[in-house]
Amino acid sequence: MYVRIARALASGLGLCAALAVAAGCGGTQSSSTVSGPATVATVNVGIGTKVNSLDPNLFVNTTETSVLHLIGGTLFELRASGAVVPGLATSIEPSSDGLTQTAHLRAGLKFSDGTPLTAADVVATLERGIHNRANAYAGFYAPIASVTAPDATTVVFKLKRPFPSLRTVLGEPEFMVLPARSVDPAAGTAQKSVASDPISAGPYELVSWGGGPTVVLRRNPDYFGAKGRAATVRFVAIPDFNASASQLRTGQIDMSVLLPPSLAPSLAQTSGIHTVSASLYGFQNLFMSHKGLTADVNVRRAISLALDRGELVRTALYGKVKPLAGFWPSTTTGYDPGISTARDVAGAKRLLAGTPCAHGCSIELMYETDDQAWAEQAAVIVQSNLKDVGIDVKLVHLDQPTVITRLTGRKYDLCLYGNYDLANVPDGLIAYNLLPDGGLDAAFSGYDSPQMQQYAKQAVETTGAQQKAALRDIETQFAKDMPFVTFSDFVNLYATRLPDKVISMGRGGYVDVGRVGE
C-alpha cells in the first residue's frame, strides 16, 4: 500500500542529486553481491501489484511507477542511485527572481513511434496536467503557473513561487512527455490510449500489456541516450510474496521486489540470489488522528518516547533499516543523526501526567497487511510498548481500502504506515506530512501550524544554507508538535539473480534498468 501513500510523496527540491549518491545520504545495504553479465536479453521482474493505468496523471503503485519510469521520456532523468541527469532537456536555467525557468531540449528528439518530439509536445503534456482536475499529482503541478514554447527546443516555465526542485521533479514519471495529439491541454484530458498504451520517449517502449498481469517492454530504438542493459523487460504481477520468492528460486523470474523483510534471511542463503534492503527517501511511521486522546500533544510525544524503536526494527523489519525518531529520514539532506531513538519510559510517563492518560487509557491502532507484511508484528510491539506506560492498545486489522477510507476521513486513533518520496528533495515529504493543503491533510491529522508552514515555505523556495536552516527548523518544530511518530527509515527489500548494474531498485522505490556505459 505504500505504493499509494508512498508514491504519494514525489517532489522536488533540486539540491541533491549529488548528495543522494554521497555517503552522507544513507544507503542501500546488500546482504551479498553477485557477478553476472553486463547486458541480458530479457529480465523478468516479479512484483506484487499489477498495472491499472499508465496515464502519467493517474499512476499510483510501484509497478506503474517502474513501467512509466522506463518508458517515459522526461526532461531530466532519475537514476536508481538518486542522481538526476539530463534527459530530453540538456539544461534548465532559473531567472534571477526564481519565478521563471527555461529548459532547452535536445535537437532531433523522437517518440518511440518515430514521430518528432518538440517543445510543443512538452507544453501540451504539462498544460494537460495543470488543467486536469483529477490529476493525482496536482500538488506537484501546483507551483507551475504556465508552460510555453517560444521555439521547437525551448520550454519556459512560469512559476507561482520559486521552485528550485523543478529540475528534479521533472524527472519523475508524472511529468513524462506525451505526443500533443494525444492530449487536450485546455480540458485537462487525454485519449484513452494514454492509460493503456502510452507513447513517450524513454529508454524503453511498451510492447504489450492489455490490462492483464504482465507488462512487456523493449528497448526504444529512437531513445536519444545510452541503451538499457536489458533488451526486454517483463513485469509480472505476483501478489503472493512466497510465490514470488519461489519463482525467483527456480529462475522463472530474475528479480522479486517489495518483499517482506521476513523473507530476507532465507533468500540470502539461496545460491545465486542477492538481497538488497534499500532505504528510501521516506519513513515508516505511526499516524495519529489528533482526535480524542491524540489531540493532546503530550500524549503524542509520550507515545514517541515509549516506542522501542530498536525492537521494532529488529523484530518487525529484521534489522534491515535505521531507527528514526525525527522527521527527516537518514537518506535525506535534512537528517539529524543527533536525534535520540532510545526508549524513555520514565519520560513518557512524566509527559502523560496531567493528560487523560495519566491513570491509564485505551486507544485503537489500525493497520493493514495487504502491502505491509511487517505491520502485524509491529502492531504487537507497539501494543506492548504502550502498555508499559499505561496505554491499552486495541489492535484493528483491516484491509487496505478500508484503512485508506478511515485515514482520509480521520476515523482512527493510530495507524501504522509509511511514506516516501521518489527523490531526495524536501517538497514531497513536507507537502504531504506537514501542510494542511498538501494532499494528505498533513498526514491525516489535520495538522495546521502557521510556524511550520513558514519553515516549509523557506525549505521549498530556497537552496543552500537558507534551506538547510529551514530543514533544521522543521525538525525542531516537528519534535515540538509531534504531528505523528516516525520509527524507522522506509525500507524496500528486493532480491535478484542479476547484478545491480543491470537492474536495481533505488531509494526512489522504482525498478531501474542500468544503461550501457554508465
Rounded to whole angstroms, the Cα distance separating 499 from 35 reads 6
Comparing CB distances to other proteins, the nearer of 28 and 369 is 369
Closest distance between other proteins and the C-beta of residue 62, in Å?
12
- Please write down the long-range contacts of 430-437, taking CB distance under 8 Å and 24 or more positions apart: 430/11, 430/456, 430/459, 430/460, 430/474, 431/9, 431/11, 431/139, 431/456, 432/8, 432/9, 432/139, 433/9, 433/327, 433/483, 433/484, 434/327, 434/474, 434/478, 434/483
CB of 281 to other proteins, least distance (A): 15
Nearest distance from C-beta of residue 250 to other proteins, angstroms: 5
The residue (of 437 and 518) whose beta carbon lies closer to other proteins is: 437
Locate cell 524507522: which residue? 488
Give the shortest CB-490-to-other proteins separation in angstroms: 15
For 312, half-sphere exposure in the C-beta direction (CA atoms, 13 angstrom radius) is 33
Considering beta carbons, is residue 118 or 332 the nearer one to other proteins? 332
E strand or H helix at 84: strand 84-86
CA distance 329 to 332: 6
Give whichever of 239 and 347 is closer to other proteins, judged by the CB atom: 239
To which residue does cell 530556497 refer? 462
Query: What are the cell numbers at 373?
Result: 507484511
**SS3 state at 47:** strand
Cβ 513 to other proteins shortest distance, Å: 21
The Cα-based distances of 471 to 7, 9, 355, 439 in angstroms read 22, 17, 30, 20
Beta strands 214-219 and 204-208 are antiparallel
Angle, in degrees to the nearest 10, between helices 464-481 and 426-434: 30
What's the full length of the chain, in residues? Answer: 518
Site for other proteins, rule CB under 8 A: 3-5, 7-9, 50, 52-53, 55, 58, 60, 133-139, 192, 195-196, 211-213, 236, 238-240, 242-244, 246-247, 249-250, 252, 370, 399-402, 404-408, 432, 437, 439-440
Q: Tell me the closest approach of the beta carbon of residue 10 to other proteins, in angstroms.
A: 8
Residues 6 or more apart in contact with residue 114 via CB below 8 angstroms: 222
Between 1 and 305, CB nearer to other proteins: 1
Nearer to other proteins (CB atom), residue 109 or residue 206: 206
Unique residue bearing C-alpha cell 521518489: 422
Q: Which is nearer to other proteins, 336 or 370 (CB)?
A: 370
Nearer to other proteins, 48 or 228 (CB): 48
Q: To the nearest whole angstrom, how small is the minimum distance from the Cβ of residue 77 to other proteins?
A: 22
Nearer to other proteins, 134 or 346 (CB): 134
Q: Smallest gap, in angstroms, from Cβ of residue 510 to other proteins?
A: 15
* SS3 per residue for 406-458: HHHCCCCCEEEEEEEECCCCHHHHHHHHHCCCCCCHHHHHHCCCHHHHHHHHH
How far is residue 377's CA from residue 516's CA, in Å, rounded to a whole number?
A: 42
**Contact indicator for 91, 109 with CB cutoff of 8 Å:** no
Minimal distance, residue 51 CB to other proteins, in Å: 8
Q: Whose Cβ is closer to other proteins: residue 134's or residue 145's?
A: 134
Cell numbers at 351, concatenated: 509527559
Query: Residue 158 or 192: which CB sits closer to other proteins?
Result: 192
Instruction: Name the minimum Å distance from CB 446 to other proteins.
Output: 13
Distance of closest approach, residue 405 Cβ to other proteins, in angstroms: 5
Output 5 or 324, the one with its CB closest to other proteins. 5
Q: Which amino acid is at 306?
A: A
Question: Are 101 and 164 within 8 A, CB to CB?
Answer: no
- CA–CA separation, 170 and 422 (whole Å): 11
CB of 311 to other proteins, least distance (A): 28
